[in-house]
Amino acid sequence: MTARRFLPRRRLLLGAAGAIAAASLGAGAFRTLARARGLAARTGAGLAFGTTVSLTVAAAEAPEAEAALTEAFRAIRAVEAAASLFRADSALSRLNRDGVLQRPDPLLLALLRFALDLAAETGGAFDPTVQPLWTLWAEAAARGGRPDAAALRETLARVGWTRVRIADDAIRLPAGMGLTLNGIVQGFAADRVMAVLEARGIANAFVDTGEFGARGAHPDGVPWRLGIADPREPARIREVIAPFSGFAATSGDYATSFSPDHADHHIFDPATGRSPRSLASVTVTAPTGLLADGLSTTAMVLGERRGRDLVARHPGCAMRVVAKA
């Protein structure tokens, strides 16, 4: 299970040549392609979840596209306010600080209920209570070492999804426990953005919230394509998903590594408190960003065989892996 707070999020999925996102084409070229098809294209970018997010839309009229972007970014901010650990004032940060949250944000409730359902389905391989492990490993890495066995045992005693108490009116955590939803929050944000765009009648869009979503086509009329970068050479595209529509998420061992060989990183096996060792990255495509994000994280923990079994149980999902060298 993944836990992160201050370090930049990995960017493994990249727009591929021939149908890349506007940020790669340049806004001027993107708009020119759209105008040739009688469309108005707009791109917006900003900071969210500790990384850069960008949204690209094409609509019949420019005001439609601009209004859709404004509302879509409002949806991202709402998800941040509910569940981002990068914001000290988010509902999730307040829950971790106080141990109880009265009248919780409905978005936080939706995310946490999904997380606990996935934990139950996977026997705890996905566990939103691993945040204390992140703190332990980050502090040890800052000192140039690894946690000792006693510290790891003590921290693992504060991990366990079955101890979270959740109801419509309150969420409660035992003393010393902390939650992270970083393994699913950006996929959830992609879902929220795409729902806004669909409601506004935007037929062509590319969404990058740290996880990816696409609908319709690129302004030049061809289907969207998505490149998967090599986890050992992130500037190089290893594989291309073409055509790409729906949602995709990647979990990898290299974005936040605690050791030069990527053996220790930000994804933890809740059973051991250590990082899984068999895979360098997992990419999952799915009908929703939330599902893609959760499955990619869990598959990193389970390994290829069990990860494929998990993904196969969810209709419309597929998995691509890169094994550790």
Binding residues for Mg(2+): 183, 293, 297
The CA–CA distances, whole Å, from 144 to 137, 138, 240, 273 equal: 10, 10, 37, 18
Phi-psi region of 144 (alpha: psi -120 to 50; beta: other; left: phi over 0): left
Q: What are phi and psi of 221, to 5 degrees?
A: 95, -10
Q: Extract the annotated binding site.
A: 183, 293, 297
The structure tokens 């994280």 sit at 297
The DSSP annotation for 148-178 comes to -HHHHHHHHTT--GGG-EEETTEEE--TT--
Q: DSSP label at 300?
A: H
The sheet with strand 13-15 has its strands ordered as 13-15, 226-230, 233-241
Please tell me whether residue 84 adopts helix, strand or coil conformation.
Answer: coil
With 0-12 / 13-18 / 19 or more C-beta atoms within 10 angstroms meaning exposed / middle / buried, residue 300 is buried
Question: Is residue 160 within 8 Å of 129, Cβ to Cβ?
Answer: yes
- Asked if 237 and 214 count as a contact pair (C-beta separation under 8 A), the reply is no
